[in-house]
Amino acid sequence: MSSAMYERMRVNPKFQELVSRRGRFAWTLAFVVLAMFYGFVMVVAFNPAALGQPVAEGSMLTVGVAVELFMFIFFWTLTAVYVKRANSEFDALTQEIVKEAWKENK
């Protein structure tokens, strides 16, 4: 039954590889987002004046706006990077694992 299928997949070294590679990648990206976002929230909470400074003398663009705009773009870029890698590399690996488990089934 499927439980045996799951068992075969679990013992496949490729499964361990998938889990550790994808896990490391996903957690790294998540950590970057969390650290940047909560770092920013901490600045908002404890040193709000820093965000109101202009990026350059005479410019109306403040550090806060520039940092936030950067985060909007950067976070979205990270999602694109993750989707690209997951939808090619990780999905291919997943398919191999399932296929191999099926073969053993026969």
Q: Is 41 in the site for other proteins (CB under 8 A)?
A: yes
Helices first, then strands: H and E counts in the chain: 5, 0
* Bridge partners, residue 62, by sequence: 54
Q: Rounded to whole angstroms, what are the CA distances from 51 to 38, 58, 72?
A: 14, 16, 16
What are the residues binding other proteins (CB under 8 A)? Answer: 2-3, 5-6, 9-10, 15, 18-19, 22, 26-27, 29-30, 33-34, 37-38, 40-42, 44-46, 48-49, 51-52, 59-62, 64-65, 68-69, 71-73, 75-76, 78-80, 82-83, 86-87, 91, 94, 97-98, 101
